[in-house]
Structure 1
C-alpha cells in the first residue's frame, strides 16, 4: 500500500522577469515526513516554499495539499504554517500572547486556547518564560517560541525557511535534534529549506537537491550521499574527488573503467555509459591509506596534511593527479603518515561512483 502524499508539486514553473526560477518541477512530499529542499542560493528552493505557503503563485503547474489544489487558496486558509529565518515574533507581546495569537484569529475559545498554549510552551521547554517578551530571550529561545506558535493551530504541514541559520554552531546542532524530535512527536509533515548539507543529511527522511531551478536528485540522505546521480549532486553534498577516467564497457549498472592510476576496475554506474572519457566520484573518507589500503592499491605521495583531532585530511599526488583522503585517528598514536612520504592508496570498487554529466 503506497504512503499518502501530503504535498504534490506537479510541473511547477516560475519566472521573475527574464529569470527562470523553476523549470517544470515535480515531486511529492509524504505525510508525516521530514522533507528537505537543499540547494545553493538561487536554486529555487525558497521560491517553492513560498508557493506552498501561498506567498508566490506558479506560472504553470499545480500544488496539491492532501489531494486538494491550493494554488488559488489564500495563505491563511491553507492549513500550512511557516517558521521564518527571522522568527517574526511580535515584540510587544509576551511569549504566551505570541503563541495564542493565531488561535485567537481562528476563533478558538479561551479555555481551549489557554490549554493549547500551555501544551505548546511545555513541548518546546519554554513554560517558565511564558510572561517574557521576545527581546528578553536568546536566539535559540526565540526560535522555540516561533515553532510553538506555528505548531499551535495543528497545521497539516509546517514549512521551515532556513530557521537555524542565525544560530551559532553548537546551538544549531542542538536545535537539529529538537526539530527532529518535534516532528516525530507531532506527526506533522515538516518541509525544511536549507543550503547546509550537514543539516539536510542529519534531519531528513528524504531530500530534494535543487540546482538551476530543477530537482537534480530526490532520495534518502544515504542515497543522496552514497549514490549521487550527477556531478552537481556529488559536488554540492559533502566533499568528493573527481577523477577523469576512461569507460571501457558498461552494462547492468556496472562499468569497467581505467583510472588515471592505470587501474582497470569495475564500479557502479547510474546509467549505461558509452565508451570514452567520464568522471568518477570518490569521497575522501572512502580512500584507504597504508595498512588499510586494499590489494589493488597504488602508491601516492603525501603533498599536504591537516590534523583535525579525530581525523587527518591528506592531499595526495599520483600519476600527475592530486586528490584528497581522510583517515580516522583510531589509536592514541593518531596520525602516523608523514608529510612527503610515499604511501599505499586504494579504494573499494563499490565505494566509487561513475557520474552522468
Structure 2
C-alpha cells in the first residue's frame, strides 16, 4: 500500500450461500478522507462496511488498514470503530460512562480516561449533559454521543452505517454539517454508508457508487453528478432525462449525435463503443425555459407544474417526449408557466452526456 492510503480493498467478493453480495470489488481510501459508499438497498455497501469492521469475512480477496492485512483479524484487534444507525448506547449509563466504557476495556488509566471523556464531550458540544442518560436526549444529541464514544479510543478509521437515517429532515441536514466539521477537526478517515444521494454529495471527498454488488463509479461529488460513467450512475444520482440517441461518429471523448428531438450536435460521451444506438442524459436544471433557452433550442408544451420553493419543476412535452425541467426561483414571485402553455426550451452541448447502451 502506498503512503497516504488508509484502507485498501482488493478483489473482495462475498457470498451468502448461493447469493453473491459483492463481486471482485477493489478500491483505496485515502488517509484523512471522507469516503462514502453509496447505493440502493441490497447493493452490498453495508456488507462491505461490516467486512472492514470485522463483523463479516470476505469469501475471497484482501482488506488492508494502513498497509496491514486485517481480513482475518477479529473486530477488537482492528483500529477502527463503528457508529450504527441505532446509536447502540447503554441506556442505564450516563453519557460520560458511555464514552468511558470502551476506554476502560482498553485499559486506559483513570485520569487519562476522564480527560479523554471531557475532551470528547466538548468536541460534540455536550459537556453540560455529561450526567444525563441517553433517554433524556433528543435523537441528534444521542447521535453526537455515539460519535464521541466511537472517536474516544482514537481509531485510525471511523465507520458510519447510515447514522443519520433515524433523524428528521431538518436535524439530518444540520448533522451533515456537524459530521463533516468533526471529520475535518479530528483528521480521522471516515467511511460513510448511505443510500441518500444528497448526503453523499454534500459531505464526501469521494463517493463510491455501488450497484448489484459491483463498483459502478468512484469520484468526487462533482465527477459523479456531472460525469456519470454509465446509465446506472446517471439514474441513481439526482434526476435526469434519458433520451434515445444515435451516435453518428466518435472523436475521442466526444460524440456527434442525432437525438429523438430532431437535433444533431456534439456532446461528451462515456463508454460508447462506436456509431449506433446510445442513450443521452440531460439533467432537468440544465434545460433553460424561455429567456434562459440557448444553444440547442426547440419548443414544447407544459403538461404539469410543481412548485417546490427554491425550484419549480415542469413536465414539458415535445416531439412525443416528456422532459423534466427544473427552473430556479431566483426572484420572489418569479413568473411561472401555466399548464398548456407553449414554451421555448434550450440546452447547451456541454450539458449532455452520451452513455453506451
Three-state SS of the structure 2 residue aligned to 1:9 is strand
User: For residues 190-339 of structure 1, what are the structure 2 equivalents within 5 Å?
Assistant: 190-339=190-339
2:45 maps to 1:45: yes
Contact 1:3 1:30 (C-alpha < 8 Å) held by counterparts: no
Contact 1:300 1:343 (C-alpha < 8 Å) held by counterparts: yes
- Looking at structure 1, the residues matched to 336 and 57 of structure 2 have their Cα atoms a distance apart, in angstroms, of 58
Cα distance change of structure 1 residues 225 and 89 upon mapping to structure 2, 3 Å threshold: same
- Looking at structure 1, the residues matched to 57 and 166 of structure 2 have their Cα atoms a distance apart, in angstroms, of 28
Question: Which digits, 9 at most, give the CA deviation of each residue in 1:86-113, with x for residues without a partner?
Answer: 0000111100000001111111101110
Three-state SS of the structure 2 residue aligned to 1:269 is strand
User: For residues 1-357 of structure 1, what are the structure 2 equivalents within 5 Å?
Assistant: 4-357=4-357
| TM-score computed with the length of structure 2 as normaliser | 0.98
CA shift, 1:308, in A, is 1.7
- Looking at structure 2, the residues matched to 273 and 346 of structure 1 have their Cα atoms a distance apart, in angstroms, of 28
Contact 2:272 2:355 (C-alpha < 8 Å) held by counterparts: no
CA shift, 1:283, in A, is 0.5
Contact 2:272 2:278 (C-alpha < 8 Å) held by counterparts: no
- Looking at structure 2, the residues matched to 3 and 89 of structure 1 have their Cα atoms a distance apart, in angstroms, of 35
- Looking at structure 1, the residues matched to 331 and 61 of structure 2 have their Cα atoms a distance apart, in angstroms, of 56
Question: Which digits, 9 at most, give the CA deviation of each residue in 1:148-205, with x for residues without a partner?
Answer: 0000000000000000000000000000000000000000000000000000000000
Three-state SS of the structure 1 residue aligned to 2:265 is strand
Contact 2:230 2:271 (C-alpha < 8 Å) held by counterparts: no
Three-state SS of the structure 1 residue aligned to 2:296 is coil
Contact 1:312 1:335 (C-alpha < 8 Å) held by counterparts: no
- Looking at structure 2, the residues matched to 273 and 347 of structure 1 have their Cα atoms a distance apart, in angstroms, of 25
CA shift, 1:318, in A, is 0.8
Structure 1 stretch displaced more, 2-11 or 117-126? 2-11
Contact 2:280 2:352 (C-alpha < 8 Å) held by counterparts: yes
- Looking at structure 2, the residues matched to 295 and 323 of structure 1 have their Cα atoms a distance apart, in angstroms, of 17
- Looking at structure 1, the residues matched to 195 and 252 of structure 2 have their Cα atoms a distance apart, in angstroms, of 34
- Looking at structure 2, the residues matched to 147 and 228 of structure 1 have their Cα atoms a distance apart, in angstroms, of 33
CA shift, 1:272, in A, is 4.5
CA shift, 1:140, in A, is 0.7
- Looking at structure 2, the residues matched to 335 and 100 of structure 1 have their Cα atoms a distance apart, in angstroms, of 58
CA RMSD between the two structures: 1.0
- Looking at structure 2, the residues matched to 47 and 304 of structure 1 have their Cα atoms a distance apart, in angstroms, of 41
CA shift, 1:3, in A, is 5.9
Question: Which digits, 9 at most, give the CA deviation of each residue in 1:48-73, with x for residues without a partner?
Answer: 00000000000100000001000111
Contact 1:307 1:335 (C-alpha < 8 Å) held by counterparts: no
Question: Which digits, 9 at most, give the CA deviation of each residue in 1:244-280, with x for residues without a partner?
Answer: 0111011210000011111111000123432111100
- Looking at structure 2, the residues matched to 245 and 322 of structure 1 have their Cα atoms a distance apart, in angstroms, of 15
CA shift, 1:355, in A, is 1.0
Contact 1:252 1:272 (C-alpha < 8 Å) held by counterparts: no
Contact 2:295 2:348 (C-alpha < 8 Å) held by counterparts: no
CA shift, 1:337, in A, is 1.9
Three-state SS of the structure 2 residue aligned to 1:297 is strand
CA shift, 1:307, in A, is 1.5
Task: Name stretches of at least 5 consecutive residues in structure 1 with no aligned partner.
Answer: none
- Looking at structure 2, the residues matched to 147 and 260 of structure 1 have their Cα atoms a distance apart, in angstroms, of 51
